[in-house]
């Protein structure tokens, strides 16, 4: 049997291979390496363009040239300057252009730049990801969203990072199902235009999005939502009847409302829930992760959590706020609220207070995971108090990767095993969730 060369493969397989190359510079090298690859490279379905300081061709010119060559349908295109320029050393006197860069050679969300190449690929574009250069984009308000909404009628997925975005002139994008905004200054303080113009979103990620005052997410098709909220918004509301996964972190909202009856996973951080908290009713919730200083307040507003199988409680780092020093978590609350609970994960016990409540009531679990902190190496009272409140089950002690050597870990586990022989003991090494 003769030797088979790469060029001998069927064209559709070669296009698939070239589409997996990813980086446009590597794709250009492939075009130069073989005459067979040259026409096929125009048919790739996925390509990314990243800033390289050593490249003799200006970044924006590379993007325009690439757009003129591509003819695939559908097409996934990613532009990134995130690794393009490194901030000067903190001790360096040469910090010109660090905080603000008057140039625009890497300002990717510029309407002029987008207008120069986007019309060439817009009819075939299914996915678009743009990571702008923050030091050129942070003080330049961009109408790029409006341009994209007008040109890219077939876009399914949009990701934008490091930009200041206006929503003026934004048109409905009825095919868009996935939207990611990260480190964005957004001129849509209530998210009204996001709700109106992206009504069919199924995936939404808002990480480090500023400019919000009273954000209200109202999306009837949304299924997965990641949201990291700054301390500025004091009113947060989500209405998403089909949402199944929500990961949300905020600080101290005065009003917080969830209307998400079909959640199966809720990962919620409210460090100081001091205001009006409405969590609605959950019909299908199986995994619940809380991070807060005030669990008693959160427990009071929980409804329909009898379906929860896994519960994680994580206490923030730092000193206990003075107004919460008398707060305790009653283990008897677990029995009343989480009657179907199988696994309980506790992190930061030393930073909180746990009390049995009714001494005759014990939690029946299959698995108990407990973070072992430095204070627990020689003082066994905190974990021992928790164990006294539980029926025998598997207990996993969670050590961080930097914690004691194996001999000390074994000594700690043996100590607990001698005191509580009815439990099954294991250990886990990894990053402790703080």
Mean pLDDT, rounded, of the chain? 82
Is residue 74 reached through a cis peptide bond, with omega within 30 degrees of 0 on the bond before it?
yes
The model carries a pTM of 0.85
**Per-residue pLDDT, 66:** 78
Q: How many Å apart are CA 248 and CA 240, to the nearest integer?
A: 14
Quick: pLDDT tens for 55-89: 777 888 888 887 877 776 678 888 888 654 433 33
Task: Count Cβ neighbours within 10 Å for each residue of 226-237 and write b for 16 or more, e otherwise.
Answer: bbebeeebebbb
**Per-residue pLDDT, 41:** 64
The answer to whether 363 touches 388, Cβ cutoff 8 Å, is: no
**Quick one: tokens of 144?**
């790029």
Q: At what angle do helices 144-151 and 111-121 cross, to 10 degrees?
A: 10
**Per-residue pLDDT, 94:** 44
Quick: pLDDT tens for 168-180: 999 999 999 999 9
Q: At what angle do helices 111-121 and 59-69 cross, to 10 degrees?
A: 20
**Per-residue pLDDT, 403:** 66
Which of 310, 290, 314, 315 is CA-nearest to residue 302?
Answer: 290
Binned at pLDDT 50, 70 and 90, residue 212 comes out as: very high
Counting DSSP H helices and E strands in the chain, the numbers are 12, 22
Torsion of CA 59, 63, 65, 70, to 10 degrees: 150
Using CA atoms, how far residue 412 sits from 82, 154, 351, in Å, is 45, 59, 20
Look-up of token digits 């204070």: 375
Q: How many Å apart are CA 36 and CA 73, to the nearest integer?
A: 20
Quick: pLDDT tens for 311-361: 998 887 666 565 654 456 666 667 778 888 999 998 876 556 566 656 667
Q: How many Å apart are CA 190 and CA 354, to the nearest integer?
A: 39
Quick: pLDDT tens for 2-29: 566 666 667 667 666 666 666 666 666 6
**Quick one: tokens of 81?**
């300057």
Quick: pLDDT tens for 82-140: 654 433 333 344 444 445 667 888 999 999 999 999 999 998 899 999 999 988 998 99
């Amino acid at each position: 049997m003769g030797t088979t060369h790469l060029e001998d493969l069927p064209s559709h397989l070669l296009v698939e291979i070239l589409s997996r190359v990813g980086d446009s510079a590597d794709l250009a090298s492939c075009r130069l390496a073989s005459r067979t690859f040259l026409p096929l490279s125009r048919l790739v379905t996925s390509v990314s363009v990243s800033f390289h300081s050593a490249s003799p061709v200006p970044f924006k010119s590379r993007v325009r040239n690439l757009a003129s060559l591509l003819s695939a349908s559908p097409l996934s295109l990613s532009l990134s300057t995130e690794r393009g320029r490194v901030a000067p050393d903190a001790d360096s006197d040469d910090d010109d252009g660090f905080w603000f860069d008057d140039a625009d050679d890497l300002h990717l969300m510029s309407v002029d730049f987008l207008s120069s190449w986007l019309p060439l690929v817009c009819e075939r574009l299914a996915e678009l990801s743009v990571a702008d250069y923050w030091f050129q984009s942070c003080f330049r308000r961009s109408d790029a969203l409006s341009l994209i909404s007008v040109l890219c009628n077939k876009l399914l997925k949009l990701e934008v990072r490091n930009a200041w975005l206006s929503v003026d002139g934004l048109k409905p994008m009825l095919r868009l199902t996935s939207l990611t905004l990260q480190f964005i200054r957004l001129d849509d303080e209530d998210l009204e235009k996001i709700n109106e113009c992206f009504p069919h979103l199924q995936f939404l990620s808002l990480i480090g999005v500023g400019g919000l005052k009273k954000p209200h997410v109202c999306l009837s098709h949304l299924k997965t939502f990641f949201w990291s909220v700054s301390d500025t918004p004091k009113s947060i509301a989500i209405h998403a009847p089909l949402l199944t996964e929500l990961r949300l972190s905020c600080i101290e909202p005065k009003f917080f409302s969830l209307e998400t009856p079909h959640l199966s996973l809720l990962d919620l951080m409210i460090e100081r829930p001091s205001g009006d908290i409405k969590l609605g009713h959950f019909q299908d919730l199986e995994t619940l992760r809380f991070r807060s200083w005030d669990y008693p307040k959160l427990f009071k507003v929980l409804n329909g959590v009898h379906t929860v199988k896994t519960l994680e409680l994580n206490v923030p780092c730092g000193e206990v706020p003075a107004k919460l020093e008398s707060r305790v978590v009653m283990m008897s609350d677990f029995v009343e609220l989480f009657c179907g609970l199988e696994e309980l994960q506790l992190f930061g016990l030393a930073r909180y207070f746990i009390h049995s409540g009714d001494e005759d009531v014990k939690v029946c679990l299959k698995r108990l995971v407990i973070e072992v902190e430095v204070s627990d190496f020689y003082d066994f009272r905190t974990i021992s108090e928790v164990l006294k409140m539980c029926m025998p089950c598997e207990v996993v002690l969670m050590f961080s990767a930097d914690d004691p050597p194996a001999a000390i870990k074994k000594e700690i586990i043996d100590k607990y095993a001698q005191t509580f022989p009815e439990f099954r003991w294991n250990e886990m090494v990894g990053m402790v969730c703080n």
